[in-house]
Structure 1
Amino acid sequence: MISMGGDQLDEAVAHAVRVLRGAVDRDWSAKAVGLDWSCLETAEHVSGVLVAYAGQLTGRATDTWVPFEVTFDEGSGPADAISVIESTGGLLSAVVRTTPSGVRGFHPYPSGSADAVGFAAMGVTELLLHTYDIAQALGVDAEPPAALCEAALAWLFPQVMPARTPAEQWATLLWATGRGALAGRPKVEGWRWHNALEIPAGRILLREVSPAAAADLAAGGTGGLTWIEGGPFEGTRTAAEMVTKAYASGVHRPEWGMFALIRAEDEIAVGGMGFHGPPDEEGVAEVGYDLAVGARGRGYASEALAALSTLALTRPGVTSLLAIIEPDNTASQTVVLRSGYVRASDRENLHAYLRRTPTA
């Protein structure tokens, strides 16, 4: 699996320090390229967000930023700035490594929170991009390791078609963040990264599966999750393969892919649920799900499907959700009926169920 965590943060910090030390004797009062801050102010910003991310996780912030910030002492110079980046990066790395699974902290994009992997990915991306912004102004090279760029793209930019070769990883990340051009792709005027969504559903949490985790699941791995005995079931791996192919083709759309079903009490994954893709031209999106055998018969799927469907039907352009079920799969039919779906016309000898928006 394309990993993201403390190791990647350490590597990104080492890269930033190496690049910036190569320009320590230059004029850091110059504006960083593409920003309104000087190079020194940009370094201060990087340090601030790294320690802020650590604070969101350790403080278990749920609805706002923890109210503190990092500022350099008066008279601090480039060498001091580099030391602070090294220190604050180390703090975030340590917090990411020790934050328990399931802990989330407030971050506004896109749904109000992120987990430790999300904060690690944001920290890596801040380091790579702003080191580049400073380096451009000071006239030094700042190309980072391709694997770091690949990881940042896979975890934070699931809507972006991935690079096809290692040599293209950095150019793709620069393009995705409005800093460069790529042949055959339109210029990015505005951008925002995407942290994996988590939806509470009673005893279950629906946790969005990133393209990186989906690829691991499709290949027979765990996707970074702890599974109930017998899981993941076949349908979950098939859904993960669909996400992997969509991402590789550049047609994956965040929040319209796959979610892992996580038992809230113990962080054990019990199944998968999600969509076959974004809504079609008529605003219809098809849902699918399965549970590991050991998790069936407990109402988990009904709770999860009801929560996922309620949220999906609030999104712009959605008119209804469709579930197609084998005629003899009475357990699955019970799940959709309990989740607010009603029987519709059969689709090629398969039972169809719809849940519509209140105004559809």
Structure 2
Amino acid sequence: MTVLQTARLELVPITLSLVEAVMADDCAEVERIAGARFPGKWPGRSLIERAFSASVERIRADPSLRLWGDRLMIATSAAGDRHIVGSVVFHGAPDEEGVVEIAYGVEPSSQGQGYGAEATCAMVEWALEQPGVRAVTASTFPWHTSSVKIIRRAGMEHCGWREHDLLGELEIFERRRIEAPCYVGASTREAAARASRAG
């Protein structure tokens, strides 16, 4: 996979070696692989275990399938310091119906700066350009208003509900290939003009 560039971020592919370094709590190796400073308190151990432990053998068996589209968010400060601010991931390659599910996380000290929206929007656009992808979905709790806002900003619309084992109903959103692109940071008029030019 190639590195994607947005206005403020580099979206760098997550590899098996990076996953293994994170699992081993080897911050130096994570930073070497990513070429960026790693926030030592993120992701927390519980998040790492939820994200990787159950599927690490599947990742090793076929990284291209399990890590399909997954990327680190890397920002560069005015002083030129590169640092990891989060990640945006898919829950594997497209299923038999051409659907992929996207999720994101931003480390605490970098939250509230629009990185999640910027990366999510870019990766939704990327996914919908990939062969075999017909739709991108995302899920969140309806009370998680910041996540709902980011998902809607990426052009997704409500399409249903799913029950969470412990915390109640998750709201499901979807954006299909035919829908117009979104433009993070653009005004409504500018976004409409760009969408019109895009066809």
The TM-score range, normalised by the shorter chain, is 0.7 to 0.9
Instruction: Work out which of the residue numbers 15, 26, 39 in structure 2 matches 1:210.
Output: 15
- Write the distance in 2 (CA, Å) between the matches of 1:304 and 1:250: 25
Which residues in structure 2 correspond to 1:37-52 (within 5 Å)?
none
Match of 1:352 in 2: 172
Task: Please provide the CA RMSD for this pair.
Answer: 2.4
- Bigger fraction of residues in helix: 1
- Bigger fraction of residues in strand: 2
2:41 is aligned with 1:230: yes
Q: Which amino acid aligns with 1:324?
A: S
Task: Check whether the contact 2:8–2:76 (CA below 8 A) recurs between aligned residues.
Answer: yes
Secondary structure at the aligned position of 2:117 is classed as helix
Task: Check whether the contact 1:203–1:263 (CA below 8 A) recurs between aligned residues.
Answer: yes
Task: Check whether the contact 1:321–1:355 (CA below 8 A) recurs between aligned residues.
Answer: yes
- Write the distance in 2 (CA, Å) between the matches of 1:251 and 1:230: 25
Instruction: Work out which of the residue numbers 86, 96, 108 in structure 2 matches 1:281.
Output: 96
Which residues in structure 2 correspond to 1:309-348 (within 5 Å)?
309-348=124-163
Q: How big is each residue's C-alpha offset from its partner over 1:331-359, in whole Å with a ceiling of 9 and x where there is no partner?
A: 11111111111111111221111111017
Secondary structure at the aligned position of 1:253 is classed as helix
Task: Check whether the contact 1:343–1:354 (CA below 8 A) recurs between aligned residues.
Answer: yes
Q: How big is each residue's C-alpha offset from its partner over 1:39-82, in whole Å with a ceiling of 9 and x where there is no partner?
A: xxxxxxxxxxxxxxxxxxxxxxxxxxxxxxxxxxxxxxxxxxxx
- Write the distance in 2 (CA, Å) between the matches of 1:200 and 1:237: 29
Q: How big is each residue's C-alpha offset from its partner over 1:23-52, in whole Å with a ceiling of 9 and x where there is no partner?
A: xxxxxxxxxxxxxxxxxxxxxxxxxxxxxx
Distance 1:251 1:259, change over 3 A: closer
- Write the distance in 1 (CA, Å) between the matches of 2:56 and 2:69: 10
Distance 1:237 1:197, change over 3 A: farther
- Write the distance in 1 (CA, Å) between the matches of 2:125 and 2:54: 23
Task: Check whether the contact 2:58–2:66 (CA below 8 A) recurs between aligned residues.
Answer: no
1:243 CA displacement: 6.5
Match of 1:246 in 2: 58
2:84 is aligned with 1:264: no
1:197 CA displacement: 2.3
Match of 2:24 in 1: 219
Distance 1:264 1:340, change over 3 A: farther
Gaps of 5+ in 2: 164-168, 180-199
Whichever of the two has the greater Rg, that structure is 1
Task: Check whether the contact 2:103–2:138 (CA below 8 A) recurs between aligned residues.
Answer: yes
Distance 1:244 1:257, change over 3 A: farther
- Write the distance in 1 (CA, Å) between the matches of 2:40 and 2:71: 19
Match of 1:60 in 2: none
1:270 CA displacement: 0.8
Task: Check whether the contact 1:235–1:290 (CA below 8 A) recurs between aligned residues.
Answer: no
1:251 CA displacement: 6.0
2:197 is aligned with 1:197: no
Distance 1:235 1:228, change over 3 A: same
- Write the distance in 1 (CA, Å) between the matches of 2:58 and 2:170: 25
In the superposition, the TM-score normalised over structure 1's length comes to 0.42
- Write the distance in 1 (CA, Å) between the matches of 2:75 and 2:49: 19
Distance 1:199 1:238, change over 3 A: farther
- Write the distance in 1 (CA, Å) between the matches of 2:84 and 2:53: 18
Paired-residue identity, %: 27
- Write the distance in 2 (CA, Å) between the matches of 1:245 and 1:307: 29
Distance 1:285 1:242, change over 3 A: farther
Match of 1:303 in 2: 118
Gaps of 5+ in 1: 1-195
In the superposition, the TM-score normalised over structure 2's length comes to 0.73
1:256 CA displacement: 1.1
Distance 1:215 1:251, change over 3 A: closer
